[in-house]
Amino acid sequence: MGSMSSYDMVIRGGMVVDGSGGEPYAADVGINGSIIAAVGPDLPAGKQEIDARGLLVMPGFVDVHTHYDGHVTWENRLRPSSSHGITTVITGNCGVGFAPCRREQRDGLLRLMEGVEDIPFPVLATGLPWTWETFPEYLDFIAGRSYDMDVACFVPHAALRVYVMGERGADREEASAQDIREMRGLLEEALDAGAIGIGTSRTLMHRSSDGKAIPTLDASEAEMFGLAEVLRDSDKGVFQIVEDIHLPGGSLDRIRDIAERAQRPVTFTIGSSNDGEDRWRSILGQLEAINDAGISVTAQMLPRGVGMMLGHELTLNPFYSTPTYQRLAKLPLAERVAELRKPEVRAILLSEAPDPNAPSMVGRAVREFETMFELGNPPNYEQPPEASIAARARSAGLTPEEVAYDIMLREDGKGQLYLAMANYPHGNLNAVGEILRHRDVVPGLGDGGAHCGTICDGSYSTFMLMHWGRDRKEGRMPVQEIAHRLARRTALLVGLEDRGLIAPGFKADINVIDFDRLALHAPELTYDLPADRPRLVQRAEGYRATIVSGELVYRDGEPTGSLPGRLVRGARQPQVQESRELSDA
């Protein structure tokens, strides 16, 4: 080692899982400013030292699929993601967001976000300061704020379309050549200002809270190709898309066509339906063929069941649409639970049918008892079919409704049910494991910031380390492969090449993890959103330290008060080390 200069921080004596996919090795990590300066044995003292003996030292994780578009305007801590080693998030996914936006279009975008991502209208209406109209102005606003992680943004296609086309855009009319020219110009301007791409949605599931389909649902080929060509011409950005490829006959043809036009990376959502049909195998085959042809397409996969949380405190439960429950729902929780405990109320609720006019997918899903479970604490996300509410009811000689009713009344009415709506064919996660391991798939879809009262999947990184790296009896993945996928593969996907690796010159975003003690708590409600509305958050144990840009942000899961996270504008390269001897360590 040629230099005896001390470092701002040294993470000492840990097993470095560096994000490359290579074998873990024992080393110290020296940090100067926001950059890793050296990785090697016996580094000189740092001004700050972190004892990592017996612990894993990993790069910070990059979450490429979140919906913190509103949260970044009103808060500094992006929960629940910050509890799970995430040090960079990407917003603007699925085409929903809040810029560009004219004053008269605000309510429409709020209702779209409320419907698609279950972020309540009052939260958004109270929280969003609306000090911007254009996308560059929105980025400038975020750039003036600080966070517990870095933030990068896709341009949301639905907002862009409505901004240019007004009501015609919201009503899904076909864009004219002039409309497309305007959208292209605005996308180019946004990329120049630092957007990292564009997000869009073509799924029937994405609806506004007033029932209208997302404005981008059937955008023409001319519109989609026009936007893709902006990425090609500027040689910038990623195209993110949600499509109904999981339906019978689903194919990647349109995604391939967009990727060919864009000549830039395209990423889409993959999963497995619970119907036992392995359509995902065909999708993976098509995906391989596309990448083998030199076209860059990557799928994103949630490492567990696509789940929905049900309970009396939450947005939904199996009885939410019955006439009696609709009346009780207005009561504060304690009063409602007191009513629900009355035998006569129980009898009425168990006899009432759900509202036939409830949204069909949700209305049916909340009674899918064969893939519904008592989540428990610690939460168990892979339970056998015999643990389902339906199976428990059969063995007890009860109806599934009775079993669900009684579980939700536990813990003073805070009992939670977990519904695996997808990714749970044959009552297990075998298909998920197979898809996750695929060379063209990255973990993601945590949806941090969204689904405040129904889903809490922002913990997927911790789950992947615990379940797929440590606890599952079969199909485990080496911890170095998990780190590579959670940190480096995701960073490369969105062009942030300066992170996801522990090596000199790379950004000092690092997790120090007690792998044996890594644990998840059950999701819990906190009333800390604007308008005092609740959201599900989920805490973890085992993260001894999370470092962002060389600053300690979390210590044993508790915030230090440091907020070094900033807006990231556009692609990023590692910083070349000025003092070469540091990298020879």
**pLDDT at residue 102, as a whole number:** 95
Same domain, 269 and 418: no
- The arithmetic mean of pLDDT across residues 195-201, rounded, is 96
Asked if residue 229 belongs to a domain, the reply is: yes
Q: Which token pair is 57?
A: 């030292």
* 361, pLDDT greater than 80: no
* Residue 171: inside a domain: yes
User: Does residue 100 have a cis peptide bond before it, meaning omega lies within 30 degrees of 0?
Assistant: yes
Same-domain check for residues 400 and 441: no
- Report how far residue 374's alpha carbon sits from residue 403's, in angstroms, rounded to the nearest whole number: 10
Query: What is the pTM (predicted TM-score) of this model?
Result: 0.94
Q: Is 105 part of any domain? A: yes
User: Across all residues in the chain, what is the average pLDDT?
Assistant: 93
Residue at 557 is within a domain: no
Hey, what's the torsion of the CAs at 483, 484, 489, 492, to 10 degrees?
A: 100
The token duo for 422 is 């997808």
Question: What is the CATH classification number for the domain harbouring 242?
Answer: 3.20.20.140
**Model confidence band, residue 453 (pLDDT cutoffs 50, 70, 90):** confident
Alpha-carbon distance values, 553 to 502, 509, 568 (Å)? 18, 10, 18
Give the pLDDT band (50/70/90) at residue 209.
confident
Of all helices (H) and strands (E), which one includes residue 7? strand 7-16
pLDDT surpasses 50 at 585: no
Distance set, CA 195 to CA 137, 322, 466, 569, 581 (Å): 12, 45, 33, 6, 36
CA-wise closest residue to 493 among 302, 303, 296 = 296
What band does 452 get if pLDDT is binned at 50, 70 and 90?
confident
Q: Find the range with the poorest average confidence among 90-94, 238-242, 246-250, 453-457.
A: 246-250
Number of helices and strands (H, E) in the chain?
A: 21, 25
Residues 383 and 466 in one domain: no
User: d(Cα 452, Cα 70) in Å, to the nearest integer?
Assistant: 13
Instruction: Report whether 184 contacts 161 (CB < 8 A).
Output: no
Residue-by-residue DSSP string for 325-392: HHHHTTS-HHHHHHHHTSHHHHHHHHHPPPPTTS-HHHHHHTT-GGGEEE-TTTT-S---GGGSHHHH
Say if residue 251 is in the same domain as residue 281. Answer: yes
Closest CA to 80 of 564, 528, 538: 538
Predicted local distance difference test score (pLDDT) of residue 246: 78
Q: How many residues does the chain have?
A: 585
- Cβ-Cβ contacts under 8 Å for 44 (sequence gap 6 or more): 1, 4, 5, 6, 7, 10, 30
Query: Does residue 217 sit within a domain?
Result: yes
pLDDT confidence band for 359 (50 / 70 / 90):
low
- C-alpha to C-alpha distance for 407 and 58, rounded to whole angstroms: 39
Residue 196 in this model has a pLDDT that exceeds 50: yes
Helix, strand, coil percent content, the chain, rounded in steps of 5: 35, 20, 45
Task: Please check whether residue 214 lies inside any domain of the structure.
Answer: yes
pLDDT at residue 2, as a whole number: 41
Q: What is the pLDDT of residue 549?
A: 98
| Lowest-pLDDT choice from 13-17, 370-374, 527-531 | 527-531
Do 451 and 396 fall into the same domain?
A: no
d(CA 440, CA 287): 7
pLDDT for residue 320 is more than 60: yes
% of the chain surpassing 70 pLDDT: 97
Beta bridge partners of 565: 147
Question: What H or E segment, with its residue span, contains residue 535?
Answer: strand 535-537
State residue 579's pLDDT score: 41
Contacts of residue 473, Cβ cutoff 8 Å, sequence gap at least 6: none
Residues 242/94, Cβ–Cβ less than 8 Å = yes
Is residue 1 a part of any domain in this protein?
no
The arithmetic mean of pLDDT across residues 248-275, rounded, is 92
Give the H/E segment covering residue 138: helix 135-143
Please tell me the predicted confidence (pLDDT) of residue 4: 53
Asked if the model's pLDDT at residue 3 lies above 70, the reply is no
Sequence-distant (6+) residues with CB within 8 A of 580 are none
Q: How many domains does the chain have?
A: 2
Are the C-beta atoms of 158 and 215 separated by less than 8 Å? Answer: yes
Residue 341: domain span? 308-422
Instruction: Please list, residue by residue across 446-459, b when 16 or more beta carbons sit within 10 angstroms of its beta carbon and e when fewer do.
Output: bbbbbbbbbbbbbb
Residues 391, 461, single domain; the answer is no
Query: Which DSSP letter does residue 44 get?
Result: P
- 291 and 383 part of one domain: no
Same domain? 333 vs 188: no
Euclidean distance between the first and the last CA atom of the chain, given in angstroms as a whole number: 6
Q: Are residues 276 and 406 in the same domain?
A: no
Q: What is the pLDDT of residue 212?
A: 84
The reported pLDDT for the residue numbered 305 is 93
Residues 100, 143, single domain; the answer is yes
Strand 150-153 and strand 86-91: the pairing is parallel
Instruction: Say whether both 161 and 107 belong to one domain.
Output: yes
Q: Which two tokens stand for residue 468?
A: 């797929």
Residues 442 and 356 in one domain: no
Task: Please check whether residue 33 lies inside any domain of the structure.
Answer: no
Residue 582 pLDDT > 70, yes or no?
no
Give residue 227's pLDDT band: very low, low, confident or very high (50, 70, 90).
very high
Selection from 14-28, 191-205, 274-288, 566-580 with the highest mean pLDDT:
14-28
